[in-house]
Chain A
Amino acid sequence: NAGVMQNPRHLVRRRGQEARLRCSPMKGHSHVYWYRQLPEEGLKFMVYLQKENIIDESGMPKERFSAEFPKEGPSILRIQQVVRGDSAAYFCASSPQPDRLFYNEQFFGPGTRLTVL
């Protein structure tokens, strides 16, 4: 059973370009989470998605960032018109249906390291 897969592992973009980060959850997992790790900072939650639905995007910047998890295919985190401050490691995690009693083991992918020149 393959783990969470993310691609590309490294992405270099110039300011103003678009970045597309992909995440394939573990087999059988229908919940995907995106986190961002800025240099010298901790991991911060961005968005939580189920298939075809955004459940919680409270951690997502209001502009330029969007996420989707279509019925078929990987989840995509899209950053339009990238700026240098977007340079970070972006991690995706997946889980099965979260337990209502707070149990929620999330399995993390290796991350995509975005560098904006």
Chain B
Amino acid sequence: SQELEQSPQSLIVQEGKNLTINCTSSKTLYGLYWYKQKYGEGLIFLMMLQKGGEEKSHEKITAKLDEKKQQSSLHITASQPSHAGIYLCGAVPPGNTGNQFYFGTGTSLTVIP
């Protein structure tokens, strides 16, 4: 089965600082998804990456999928308290017709005002 490892497990940053969260896969990624989860709420879709080298941005969040398609990074610029939450990467295993995701264990982000 595909395994996704996220690092760091938790992160505490001062407001305004930049930060990066990594997601490493044991197998080639054919679709990598980033979600954000706030306590008591569901997952909010952030971005999806499919092509090696692809980079997408939404507001102050940028995600990249490396050329070899086994690692993705999520970068937040000038963090704000509203960025706090748990960030999860999810992937569809190769050969999978879309019936399930594998998720990383998550990175808990705290932003101190």
Contacts and interface: CB of A to CB of B under 8 A. Distances in A.
Given A43-B88, A99-B98, A100-B97, A107 B45 contact: yes
Contacts of B48: 103, 105
Nearest to A92: B42
Contacts of A107: 45
Contacts of A6: 42
A59 interface: yes
A52 interface: no
Contacts of A42: 88, 103-106
Contact of A104 (B31, B104, B106): B31
The range of chain A's interface size is: 20 to 34
A45 B100 CA distance: 6
A89 B21 CA distance: 24
Q: What bracket does the count of chain B residues touching chain A fall in?
A: 20 to 34
Majority-rule SS of B interface residues: loop
Interface in B11-37: 30-31, 33, 35
B101 A98 contact: no
Interface of B: 30-31, 33, 35, 40-45, 48, 50, 88, 90, 92, 96-106
Closest 7 CB pairs of A and B: A98-B98, A104-B98, A108-B43, A45-B100, A108-B42, A42-B105, A43-B103
